[in-house]
Amino acid sequence: MNPQDLRIRRATVDDLNSLKAIWLSMQLPADQLESRLTEFQVVERDGEVLGAVGFQIVRTAGLLHNEGYSDFSVADAARQMFWDRIQTLASNHGVFRLWTQESSPFWLRWGFQPASQEDHARLPEEWKSSEEKWYTLELKNEAVINAVMEKQFSSFRSSEKQQTDAAMARAKTVTTVVAVFFFIVGFAGIGFAIYLFLHLKAAGR
| Cβ-proximal residues to 37 (8 Å cutoff; 6+ apart), any chain | 11, 12, 13, 15, 16, 19
- pLDDT band at residue 53 under the 50/70/90 scheme: very high
Question: In this predicted structure, what is the pLDDT of residue 128?
Answer: 87
pTM across the whole model: 0.67
Topology of domain 3-140, per CATH? Aminopeptidase (3.40.630)
Instruction: Give the Å distances, CA to CA, from 98 to 94, 103, 116, 191.
Output: 11, 14, 14, 82
Strand segments (E) across 134-186: 135-138
Whether pLDDT at 158 is above 80:
no
Q: Residues 6-32: what's their mean pLDDT?
A: 95
Whether pLDDT at 148 is above 70:
no
Question: In this predicted structure, what is the pLDDT of residue 192?
Answer: 63
Question: In this predicted structure, what is the pLDDT of residue 175?
Answer: 76
Q: Residues 128-156: what's their mean pLDDT?
A: 67
- pLDDT band at residue 40 under the 50/70/90 scheme: very high
Q: Convert the pLDDT of each residue in 159-191 to its tens digit.
A: 566 776 766 777 777 777 766 666 676 666 676
Q: Is 50 helix (H, G, I), strand (E, B) or coil?
A: strand
Q: Is 87 helix (H, G, I), strand (E, B) or coil?
A: helix
Q: What is the pLDDT of the chain when averaged over all its residues?
A: 83
Do 106 and 112 form a contact (C-beta atoms < 8 A)?
no
pLDDT greater at residue 171 or residue 69: 69
Q: Residues 150-164: what's their mean pLDDT?
A: 57
Question: In this predicted structure, what is the pLDDT of residue 146?
Answer: 47
- pLDDT band at residue 153 under the 50/70/90 scheme: very low
Comparing 41-45, 106-110, 197-201, which segment has the lowest mean pLDDT?
197-201
Q: Residues 73-101: what's their mean pLDDT?
A: 94
Characterise 196 by phi-psi region: left (phi > 0), alpha (psi -120 to 50), beta (else): alpha
Whether pLDDT at 103 is above 70:
yes
pLDDT greater at residue 132 or residue 93: 93
Whether pLDDT at 107 is above 70:
yes
